[in-house]
Structure 1
Amino acid sequence: MQISVDVHNYMETLVGQVLAKPEFVDHFDHEQLADLACLALSQLRPVYIRHDIDFLSALPEERLVTLKTYSQVAVDAAVGMIVDDRRKQRKDEVPVIFSKQRFDDDIELEWFEKPILKKEK
C-alpha cells in the first residue's frame, strides 16, 4: 500500500472544484491559486477516502452540500490573505543579523542533556 496513491483527502477535490471557477482562474495566477489551495485546506478538516465513487454513494446529499459549502467558505477566507498579501510590501533590504553560538565544553550537562545509560550489573 502507498498512502499517496491509495488514499486521498476528498476536501482537496472540493477545493479544486471551487478554484476551477472562472472567478478564481481569471483573477489569480498559478502561484496564487496554489497558495489559495494551501490556505483553504489548512482551514478544513480532512476527509480521507480511497475511492470517490464508494464515498459519494454512501454520503448523504445534505452532507455533500455541507462539505461543498465549507470548501467555498475556506477559499473565500483565503482570498483575503492573498489579496492583502504582506509579502508584496516587503523591501528587499531586510537586515540580516548573525549570532555566534558559544559552547563551553567544560560546563556540566543539565539533567535532560545527559545520555541515558544502562547500568552494568
Structure 2
Amino acid sequence: MQISVDVHNYMEVLVGHVLAEEHYIRQYSQEQLADLACLALSQIRPIYIRHDIDFLAALPETRLLTLKKRAETAVEAAESMILDDRRKNRDDVPVVMTQTHFDEDAELEWYEKPILRHPKPDV
C-alpha cells in the first residue's frame, strides 16, 4: 500500500476546485497558488478517503455543500495572507537559529496528541 496513492484528503480536491477558478488563475502565479493551497488546507480538517465515488455516494448533499463552503472560506482567508505577505519589501534580516530548544513538558497541541495513550515509563 502506498498512502499517497491509495488514500487522499478529499479537502485537497475541493480546495483545488476553488483555486482552479478563473479569478485565482489570472491573479496568482503557480508559486502563490501553491502557497494558497497550503494555507487553506492548514485551516480545515482533512477528510481522508480511498475512492471519491464511494465517498460521494454516501455523502448527503447538504454535507457536500458545507465542505465546499469551508474550502471557499479557507481559500479566501489564505488569500488575505498572500496579499499581506510580510516577505515583500523586507528591510530586516531573518533570524536563523543554530540551536533549537524544546520544552518537553509543554502541553501538546490537539493535533499532536497521540491516538493511543501509552503509560509514561518511570525514569
TM-score by length of 1: 0.76
Q: Mark the structure with the bigger radius of gyration.
A: 1
Measured against aligned partners, the alpha-carbon deviations of 1:33-89 in whole angstroms (never above 9, x if no partner) come to 000000000000000000000000000000000000000000000000000101002
Counterpart position of 1:90: 90
Counterpart position of 1:47: 47
Query: Identical aligned pairs, as a percentage?
Result: 67
Task: For residue 72 of structure 1, give the secondary structure of its aligned residue in structure 2.
Answer: helix
Structure 2 residues not aligned, in runs of 5+: 99-123
The amino acid of 1:67's aligned partner reads L
The 5-angstrom pairing of residues 102-121 of structure 1 reads none
The 5-angstrom pairing of residues 44-83 of structure 1 reads 44-83=44-83
Choose between structure 1 and 2: higher helix proportion.
1
Find runs of 4+ consecutive structure 1 residues off by over 3 angstroms.
95-99
Task: Report deviation, 1:94.
Answer: 2.0
Task: For residue 89 of structure 1, give the secondary structure of its aligned residue in structure 2.
Answer: coil
Counterpart position of 1:4: 4
Structure 1 vs Structure 2 CA RMSD: 2.1
Task: Report deviation, 1:2.
Answer: 1.0
The amino acid of 1:35's aligned partner reads D
TM-score by length of 2: 0.75
Task: Report deviation, 1:5.
Answer: 0.7
